[in-house]
Amino acid sequence: MMQTPYYLIDRQKLLRNMEIIAHIREQSGAKALLALKCFATWSAFEIMRDYMDGTTSSSLFEVRLGRERFGGETHAYSVAWADHEIDEAVSHADKIIFNSVGQLNRFAGRAEGIARGLRLNPGVSSSSFDLADPARPFSRLGEWDAGLVESVLDRVSGFMIHNNCENADFALFDRMLGQIEERFGPLLHYADWVSLGGGIHFTAENYPVNAFCDRLRAFSERFGVQVYLEPGEAAVTNSTTLEVTVLDTLFNGKHLAIVDSSVEAHMLDLLIYRESARVEPDEGEYEYMICGKSCLAGDIFGTFRFREPLKPGDRIAIQDAAGYTMVKKNWFNGVQMPAIAIREGDGSIRKVREFTFADFERSLS
C-alpha cells in the first residue's frame, strides 16, 4: 500500500469526462481547451490529449507548460502581461488574449505573428460567490464597453468571454448566452472565433449535452465563428481522490479524527468557499469530524458517517480532489505534500510524483 497522503487520479473516471468532451466537440463543432489554472498535473495529459484540442492559460508559466507538456492548440491569457513576459508568451502560443484594450494597444505589435483576442465582460454571471464572480461590480476581468472595443476591432480576430461558474443549469447558460448575443452581437459578427470560457458543468449527471451542443452550433453558425470551450472542473470532476490515513481520534463533545493531510494545504478551495469535502458512502452509525493536521483551528474536511469506529491507521478517500487542489497545494506548516498517483485501467496504482524535504526547503530560501 502506498504511503498516504496522495492524490489518486483514476484513468477510467477521467476518461468518462473525456468521452463527453469528445462527443461535444463532434456534435457542436466547438474546440475544447483544458484550463490549466484548474488542473495542471501533466502526467495525466497523455490520458486527455486525444480528447481535447489543447490548453488555455492564466500566466506565462502555464502557457509554457501547455505548449511543452500538452501540445495542440495553445491559448495565452493573463489578467495582465508584464513587459518582460510578452515575447516569451507569444513564442509559446497560437493565440494571445488580452484582458483590456490598454494591454492590447500596448502589446499588439509584439504579438503580430499570432492571432490576437480580447476578453469581453458581459456583466452577467452564474456565480453565487462574490469572490469568484467575474461580473462583480468594477470587475477587472475583461472589457464591458462595446463602443470602446469597436475602436480596436482591426487588432483582434476573436474574443474570450468567461462568465459561467460551475453552472450545471443549461437553461441559465442558454439565457446568459442570449444576453451575450444581445450585448455584443455586432462585435461577434466581426470575429473569427469566440471562446466561451469554462465553468459550464456539462459532465454533471443528467446534463442535457445534446441541447448544449445544438446551442453551441447555433451560436457558431449565427456569427460565423469557431467556438472554443475552456473546461477546467468539468474535465476532471469526480476523477480523483485525496487518500489520507487517520493518525489520531479524540472526543471533545464530538468524535474527531485527525488525518495526515490538511485542507488548508491540500484542498484550499474548500476553505476559501466554505464548503465541505465529500466522503463516500457517508453512511453508518459512527459520525466523525475529519480534521487536518495543520495548526489552523478550522482545518476541517467535514463531518461524515462511517460504518465502524475510526482508529489510527484507517484509510479515508476524500472525493473529487482534482480541480483547484493540486494547482493550489502549499507547504503550510511543512505538512507532507501529497504524492500524485494514477490508478490504471487494470487497477494498479502508479506513483508519478512524490515530494520530499528537499522540495520543501527549495520552496523558500
Ligand X SMILES: Cc1ncc(COP(=O)(O)O)c(C=O)c1O
Is residue 66 part of the contact set for ligand X (CB under 6 A)?
A: no
Contact at 8 Å (CB) between 77 and 58?
yes
The number of residues that bind ligand X (CB under 6 A) is 14
Phi, psi of 260 (to 5 degrees): -85, 40
CB of 48 to ligand X, least distance (A): 14
Contact at 8 Å (CB) between 246 and 261?
no
Q: How far apart are the first and last CA of the chain?
A: 34
User: Which of 21, 32, 34, 38 contacts ligand X by CB under 6 A?
Assistant: 38
Near ligand X in 153-212, by CB under 6 A: 162, 166, 197-199
CB of 111 to ligand X, least distance (A): 18
- DSSP letters of 119-175? EB--S----S-GGG-TTSTT--SSB--HHHHHTTGGG-SEEE----SSB--HHHHHH
122 vs 231, beta carbon nearer ligand X: 231
User: Which of 158, 231, 292, 338 contacts ligand X by CB under 6 A?
Assistant: 231
Helix 170-190 with 209-223: angle, nearest 10 deg: 20
CB of 159 to ligand X, least distance (A): 12
5 vs 199, beta carbon nearer ligand X: 199
Is residue 329 part of the contact set for ligand X (CB under 6 A)?
A: no
310 vs 322, beta carbon nearer ligand X: 322
CB of 228 to ligand X, least distance (A): 10
> Measuring CA to CA, which residue among 319, 230, 239 is closest to residue 44?
239
User: Which of 230, 243, 260, 320 contacts ligand X by CB under 6 A?
Assistant: 230
> What is the widest separation between alpha-carbon atoms in the chain?
67
The 3-state DSSP class for residue 187 equals: helix
Is residue 232 part of the contact set for ligand X (CB under 6 A)?
A: yes
Question: Where along the sequence are the contacts to ligand X (CB under 6 A)?
Answer: 35, 37-38, 162, 166, 197-199, 230-234, 323
